[in-house]
Structure 1
Amino acid sequence: MATILIALALSLRTITSSGSLGVALTTILSFSQGLQSLLVTWTQMETSLGAVARTKNLEALVAPEDAHDEVQEPPADWPRNGRD
């Protein structure tokens, strides 16, 4: 966009002033920075949403490893002689 603006300014030297050309270039640079920030933020959001979706999918597909009748605490004499 800046290249097109400069090409137009050089071909139409009698119409454009240096002040308006400077304002146009500054506006183009600001727009470019804003667009870049938007794209970076959008990409980060897409990455984060993909991670959340993968986590939810993993949680839905993997069955819990604990059973309802399973005892969670080991017996009082565990481990016996460094085994079990």
Structure 2
Amino acid sequence: MGSRRGLAVLFNPFCPLSTAKVLALKATVLLLLTLLIKARVQIAAGSALGILLLLVQTLVFLAISGGLVLAAGGAAVYATQRRRPAAA
């Protein structure tokens, strides 16, 4: 009885949606959902890549600044050792 009611709706001439229109809408919704999921995955992957690049950039900055501190400290030690014999 339920299937007879469904067939009556599909073949109703006053129904604005035909079977082809319903199938086209279903296909469009499926396509849009697929594109939405794909975009969400790309955003997540892009965010992960961005976080990874930010981490690498931070580590490189810390390494370079640490190297500069060591170089400045070495230069200061060298300068103080060089001045001592001259002062003595």
Q: Same fold (TM over 0.5)?
A: yes
SS at match of 1:24: helix
1:34 Cα deviation (Å)? 0.6
Unaligned runs of 5+ in 1: 1-8, 70-84
Quick one: distance in 2 between partners of 1:15 and 1:35?
A: 28
State the TM-score, normalized to the length of structure 1.
0.58
Task: Give the match for residue 78 of structure 1.
Answer: none
Aligned to 1:47: 48
Letter aligned with residue 26 of structure 1 = A
Q: Kindly state the Cα deviation for residue 45 of structure 1 after the two structures are TM-superposed.
A: 0.6
Q: Which residue of 2 aligns with 1:14?
A: 15
- Residue 42 of structure 1 deviates from its aligned partner by 1.0
Q: Give 1:23 shift.
A: 0.3
Aligned length: 57
**Aligned CA-pair RMSD:** 2.5
Whole-angstrom distance in 2 between the partners of 1:40 and 1:26: 21
Q: How does 1:1-84 map to 2 (within 5 A)?
A: 14-62=15-63, 63-64=66-67
Say which structure is richer in helix: 2
- Give the SS at the match of 2:42: helix
Write the deviation string for residues 28-58 of structure 1: whole angstroms up to 9, x where unpaired: 0001001110110111011001111011111
Larger Rg: 2
Determine what percentage of the aligned residue pairs are the same residue.
Answer: 14
Runs of 4+ in 1 over 4 A off after TM superposition: none
Q: Which has the higher contact order (CA 8 A, sep 6+)?
A: 1
